[in-house]
Amino acid sequence: MDFLFPDREKAACQSPESALLSRSGNEAIFMHENLLEDAASYSRRFGAMIRREREAHGLRLEDLSAATGVGIRFLHDLETGKPTCQIGRSLVVAAAIGLDAIKLLELASEPHDGQGSSR
């Protein structure tokens, strides 16, 4: 969060939202759009990873839904990269198919060329 708070004293009493508002209008809008684009990109990559693993285990959406207690609609949204899927439920699904949260974070930080990769 250092990019939002160059002055550490302000950081203690300033929320990210107010830090964005204190920047020039164009700079704040640009930063906000970049964060949204990053979230959408990571969501799509995460969803694709979930789908590959589910299919590799021979599971249907219905099977994974029953095993994890999350709805089929949620699984569909997750696999198609909906950025507003709940992180807790997403991690439950990932763990159920054998994906480790730490490994997911490591994979998220790797460069992505837009093509699917196999594990």
Share of the chain above pLDDT 90, in %: 46
Encode pLDDT of 4-28 as tens digits.
434 444 444 445 554 445 555 666 6
Per DSSP, 107 falls in state H
Query: Which has the closest alpha carbon to 19: 2, 39, 38, 34?
Result: 2
What is the value of pTM for the model shown? 0.63
Residue with tokens 């107010």: 18
